[in-house]
Amino acid sequence: MMNHTFDALIVGAGQAGPSLAGRLTAAGWKVGFVERKNFGGTCVNTGCTPTKAMIASAKAAHTMRQAANYGLKPAPEFTVNLAQVKARKDNIVAASRASLEKWLQQMPGCTIFRGTAQFLSAISMQVGADVLEAKHIFLNVGGRPASPPLPGIGEVPYLTSSTILALEELPTHLVIVGAGAVGLEFAQMFRRLGSEVTIVERSSRLLPHDDEDVAAAVADILAAEGITLRLGAECISLGQEDGQPVVHVSCQDDPAPSRGSHLLLAMGRQPNTDDLALEKAGLNADARGYLPVDEELRTAVPGIWALGDCNGRGAFTHTSYNDFEIVAANLLDQGQRRVSDRLPVYAVYLDPPYARVGLTEAEVRAAGTPVLMGKRPMTKVGRAVEKGETKGFIKVLVHAETDQILGASIVGTGGDEAIHCIITAMYAQQTAAFMRRNVFIHPTVSELIPTVFGELKPLEEIAKPAGN
């Protein structure tokens, strides 16, 4: 065994870890950094970067098929070479990963260890033959696709959101169990690349944590592209017929099983905390494996923090990076930043995308909050019409008494970018009146946001969507 002493030990090279190492070493701290596999974590290796690269390829294929809709000569019949799509994706991932690894390797004051870290005590961890000791330990170990206890899961080959990225031949028919963001993005991606796609979902609708009109708009987008939706599948089990996967469901409208050439399970994620030997540090994960933390991301054990996907306080790249910012500000800048300072924001990268900030309509209705709502379909957004992408809408929620912005949802072209002007206004605690005075660039999707804030109506005057 070789013993090493550091000011800080960081475990995991996801979004929070490397940037924290940069701040700490710049402040003169001696940092030990542990990564057991690929630098960049989920985002770079199996999440944002590879999937958005493949979504771009799928978008290009879809656009070629739609040539006649834009007054162009229809493209000749073409097929997608998934191996080439994968190679493009792999090159993008490799470049991002290599850049991050090089930065850490050349960072003065940072020593990298490769392997799995396990606690020996509250101030020490073992990585192979090395014992690393530090008074500050930061766990940024991320998560992985969950394997739900479905009947038959051990008897059927299946893909996860990670392993599906290694395919080099298109599935003839991809059956996806799970209709969260991951399942929906892969569904549209592979449909546009040329596969038949079926989505099987327990809930009676898509996106059960979002508003009914959002779910309906997303369902319309997917169905229009030929994706089969099997909703309300309250009893799901897996099997095989002739060597191919079969998903047995119990649906009120159609109890027939779904058969396909490939099966993707997209039913959530679990944190990578089960092999850290937490008990030796006095740490206890919750029932789902997450490490409970306070508002400053400190665990119950002094000197140990949990950042990113393993703390259960956010499941996104942007929340992981913000975890780094909170910890660094409080440790180095005498800050008082807290997890609850951030707004709930996220997007589902369909085409067109869905983006959301703050409260939903269902939440404000349930709370009985006096609310005004503005809503405009994309058919009345000039930029969307010009692009030939008119599905979706812009919706904003405003407190009827204080004029404060409570939330917004945008389903539609450019929505993942346009929503940021509302996010910024909410962080600045600005009002609907402030938004109405903004003058945005024409022609854009964003330019209609002040208009939507000028078309507010009392929520009680607006019909309650079915299902809410």
Instruction: Report the DSSP beta bridge partners of residue 239.
Output: 246
Strand, coil or helix: what is 452? helix
Q: At what angle do helices 181-193 and 212-224 cross, to 10 degrees?
A: 20
pLDDT in tens, 324-362: 999 999 999 999 999 999 999 999 999 999 999 999 999
* Under 8 Å between Cβ of 300 and 283: yes
Does residue 389 register a pLDDT over 70? yes
What number of CA atoms fall less than 13 Å from residue 248's CA on the CB side? 11
pLDDT of residue 124: 98
Q: Please state, as a whole number, how many other Cβ atoms lie within 10 Å of the Cβ of residue 194.
A: 16
- Averaged pLDDT for residues 300-318: 95
pLDDT in tens, 67-83: 999 999 988 888 999 99
- Average pLDDT score over the chain: 95
- Averaged pLDDT for residues 291-295: 97
pLDDT in tens, 140-164: 999 999 988 899 999 999 999 999 9
* Under 8 Å between Cβ of 446 and 378: no
Does residue 366 register a pLDDT over 90? yes
CA gap 64, 369 in Å, rounded: 47
pLDDT of residue 147: 86
236 token code pair: 């799901």
* Under 8 Å between Cβ of 183 and 199: yes
CA gap 30, 33 in Å, rounded: 10
pLDDT in tens, 41-63: 999 999 999 999 999 999 999 99
* Under 8 Å between Cβ of 310 and 265: no
pLDDT of residue 254: 75
Which pairs count as long-range contacts for 438-444, CB under 8 Å and 24+ apart, including other chains? Answer: 442/382, 443/382, 443/383, 443/386, 444/383, 444/414, 444/418
Report pTM.
0.94
For 47, 284, 291, 311, 323, the CA distances from 288, given in Å and listed in that order, are: 21, 11, 9, 10, 20
252 token code pair: 């009120």
| Region of residue 34 (left: phi > 0; alpha: psi -120 to 50; beta: else) | beta
Query: Which are the contacts of 149, defined by CB distance < 8 A and separation ≥ 6?
Result: none
Active site residue 173: no
Banded pLDDT at 467 (limits 50, 70, 90): low
pLDDT in tens, 245-263: 999 887 777 778 899 999 9
Does residue 464 register a pLDDT over 70? no
CA angle in degrees (0–180, nearest 5) for 124-129-132: 25
Query: Which of 173, 262, 399, 442 is labelled catalytic?
Result: 442
* Under 8 Å between Cβ of 229 and 222: yes
DSSP state of 298: B
Instruction: Report the DSSP beta bridge partners of residue 238.
Output: 247
Q: At what angle do helices 181-193 and 48-65 cross, to 10 degrees?
A: 40
17 token code pair: 């870890």
CA dihedral 309, 314, 316, 320 (to 10 degrees): -70
Banded pLDDT at 29 (limits 50, 70, 90): very high
Banded pLDDT at 184 (limits 50, 70, 90): very high
Banded pLDDT at 463 (limits 50, 70, 90): low
